[in-house]
Amino acid sequence: MIKRLSIVASILFLSCNNHRGAAITKQVEKIKPTKDQAERRRQSEAYCKTHYIPVYSNPNALFVDPELRATIRTKDEVTDRALALLYVGLKSEGIGQKDLHEINKNLDALSKLTPAERAYITNPRPTKQQTTDANWRYEDLHVMLWALGFIDSLTYPNQLCNVAQDAKLFRGLTGRQFKQRARLRTKKEILDQADLMLRLDWACVDARTKKQPAPGKLDSGVVYERHYALNWLINYMNQGWDDIMTDT
């Protein structure tokens, strides 16, 4: 495994690029889109076409929920998830249990882990694949930082996020202070991004089934992680973090 960063621990006092697996394609829907769903699709497809990315042709399928029906995670939920993802990422860097314990004193991240994350954190000898998967969670953390207003925009997903810059946002802060500084984005902003990532992931999966490279020079791993994180943010099928599906 190739570490993409080795200085995260020093930033907080004291990565790797294997694709996470194909998204699942479910049975075709028959949806009559609402006005906001149709507009969201229109702007996402315009973005795709600008970057020479194919778009899904069925006009009655592949939508995120309309604003009136969608329920976005609360600010507390998102900040807790960000702290947990940072902690998981730090473990993937090879930081020992003693140093993780010291970091937890400031962030109180351990209490925010899911069962699967806790199993990884407490495992003294995780497998290479487990560590690779955990390292990818920095991409999900990047999405949470955007959703909380710490990052101005999510850039075109053709490369890994800058973990060093993201980690600096936590420097010198307790978990409570981090939460106080957060400002959750609007439902529309989050749904817009979720719709876009749904379509980018569809294009990546479609290319993979045809044994072609991802279109538009997309990094399919980054796209997948963003899709995963955004589906959690919009409460897709009311699934918990460990069980999120990335249907396309």
Run of H or E residues at 110: none
Confidence of residue 61 (pLDDT cuts 50, 70, 90): very high
State the burial class of residue 196 (Cβ atoms within 10 Å of its Cβ: 0-12, 13-18, 19+): buried
* Ranges of each domain in the chain: 72-136+161-181
Instruction: List pLDDT tens digits, range 189-217.
Output: 999 999 999 999 999 999 999 999 999 99
Instruction: List pLDDT tens digits, range 5-38.
Output: 444 555 554 433 344 544 444 445 688 999 999 9
**What count of other Cβ atoms lies within 10 Å of the Cβ of residue 203?**
22
- Residue count (the chain): 248
Name the nearest CA neighbour of 95 among 174, 5, 222: 5
3-state secondary structure 38-97: HHHHHHHHHHHHHCCCCCCCCCCCCCCCCCCCCCCCCHHHHHHHHHHHHHHHHHHCCCCH
- Flag whether the pTM goes above 0.75: yes
In this predicted structure, what is the pLDDT of residue 60?
87
Mean pLDDT of 122-138: 96
Name the nearest CA neighbour of 34 among 68, 71, 6: 68
Mean pLDDT of 159-184: 97
